[in-house]
């Protein structure tokens, strides 16, 4: 299946290609945790993950066409 991934607020530094908005192919039924491993973003550096705009846990199973947004902790400034 194919999902859209958006890495916000600098999380793309963990990717060699530095892409922050891209499509990703995953095996059917893959979870958010599996997605993070595949895109090389450490779990502990994330604060909020949404799937199609709804907050999702690491064990959430993804579906074809999902849009996954990954955010780090947001501090002030």
Partner 1 sequence: MAFGYTGKYAVVDLTSGSVTTESYDKQFYRSYLGGKGFVAYNLLQQVRPRTEALSPENVLVFATGVLAGTRMPGFSRVVIGGKSPLTDGYCESEVGGSWGAQLKRAGYDALIVRGSSPTPVCIVVRDENVSIEDASELWGRTVKGTCSTLKSKLGKTTSVLSIGPAGEKLVRFACIMEDERDAAGRGGLGAVMGSKKLKAIAVTGSKPVAVKNAEELNKIAAWFAANFRNNAPSAALNTSGTPGLIPGLQASSMLPTRNFRAMRFDGWRELAKLGGEWKYRVVKEGCWACPIRCKLSFIVDDGAVGGSQVAHGPEYETIGAFGCALGIDDPLTVLRANVYCNDMGLDTISAGMTIAFTMDCVESGLVQDPELIRLGVRFGNSAVVMPLLEMIATRSGIGDLLAEGSLRAAKAIGAAAEKLAMQVKGLELPLHEPRGKTGVGLGYAVSDHGADHMTAPHDPLFSKAGAYGLETMECIGLDEPVSSVSMDEKKVRLYYYGNMWWDALKCLGACFFCVVPRGLLPVHMVVSAVSAATGWDFGLWELMKAGERAGCMARMFNSREGPCAQRDILPERLFSRSENGDYDGINRDEFYAAVKLYYQMRGWDPNTGIPTKAKLAELGLGWLA
Q: Which residues bind partner 1 (CB under 8 A)?
A: 8-14, 42-45, 47-48, 50, 55, 69, 71-77
Which residue lies nearer to partner 1 by CB, 13 or 25? 13
Query: By C-alpha distance, which of 56, 22, 54 is closest to 40?
Result: 22
Tokens found for residue 32: 């958010």
Strands (E), 1-77: 2-7, 21-25, 48-51, 54-55, 67-71
Q: How far is the CB of 15 from partner 1 (least distance, A)?
A: 11
DSSP string, 60-71: PBP-TT-EEEEE
Which residue lies nearer to partner 1 by CB, 27 or 44? 44
Which residue lies nearer to partner 1 by CB, 28 or 75? 75
Q: How far is the CB of 12 from partner 1 (least distance, A)?
A: 7
């Amino acid at each position: 299946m194919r999902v859209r991934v958006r890495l916000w607020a600098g999380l793309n530094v963990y990717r060699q290609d530095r892409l922050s908005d891209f499509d990703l192919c995953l095996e059917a039924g893959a979870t958010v945790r599996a997605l993070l491993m595949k895109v090389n973003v450490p779990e502990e550096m994330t604060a909020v993950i949404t799937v199609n705009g709804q907050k999702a846990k690491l064990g959430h199973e993804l579906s074809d066409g999902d849009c996954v947004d990954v955010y780090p902790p947001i501090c002030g400034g």
